[in-house]
Amino acid sequence: MLNSGMGTKPIVIIVACVLLCITNRGVHASKADASTSSCRASDLVVSTATEAGSGGKPQHFVSVINTCKCAQKNIKLACPGFNHSIDVFPASAIRRDRDGVHCTLLGGRPVGPARSVSFIYESSATFSFKPVSSTSVC
C-alpha cells in the first residue's frame, strides 16, 4: 500500500503541472491579444539624462519610447512649466499646446512600435514629460 501511494504522487504532480501550463498559456495569450489591439499612454516610456551644457545651462536629453506592439499617434505629454522660449532640437520633436499644460510629440504623427522620439532642450530647470494620452494605430 505504501508503494502504490508513492507511485500516484508523481502522476498527480505531472497532471497538475500540465494543467497549470495550459491555463497559463490561455491567460498570456489573452493578455497579448489585448495589448496588440489597444495601446495606452502607459505604454510610452520617458527617460531623461542631464549633462552640463557648453553655454552654462544644463542640456537635457529626453527619449520617449513606444513599448506597445502597435504605433501610437496624437501623443500628449504633461509638461508643466515648459514654454515656447525654450530651444528644442530638433524643433519638430515636441511643441507646447495652447492649454499651457500639455505638449504634443511629433506634431501628432505616429510613433511605431519599439520606436523612440528623442530631443534635447537647454534649461536651468528640469521638466517632466509624463504621457497622458495617445491614439492606437493597429
The enclosing domain of 76 has a CATH number of 2.60.40.1170
Full residue range of the structural domain in which residue 105 is found: 41-137
Nearest-angstrom CA–CA distance, 86 and 122: 7
43-53: buried (b, 16+ CB within 10 Å) or exposed (e) per residue?
bbeeeeeeeee
Indicate if 127 and 95 belong to the same structural domain.
yes
pLDDT value of position 84: 82
Indicate if 52 and 31 belong to the same structural domain.
no
Indicate if 49 and 98 belong to the same structural domain.
yes
Say how many C-beta atoms besides its own lie within 10 A of residue 71's C-beta: 18
Instruction: Report the number of distinct structural domains present in the chain.
Output: 2
pLDDT tens for the chain, 138 residues: list them: 444 444 544 443 443 333 333 333 333 333 444 444 589 999 999 999 999 987 788 999 999 999 999 999 999 999 999 988 898 999 999 999 988 899 999 999 999 999 999 999 999 999 999 999 999 998
pLDDT value of position 102: 95
3 state DSSP class of 17: helix
Q: Where are the alpha helices (DSSP H) in the chain?
A: 2-37
pLDDT value of position 37: 57
pLDDT value of position 54: 79
Indicate if 46 and 88 belong to the same structural domain.
yes
pLDDT value of position 9: 45
pTM: 0.70
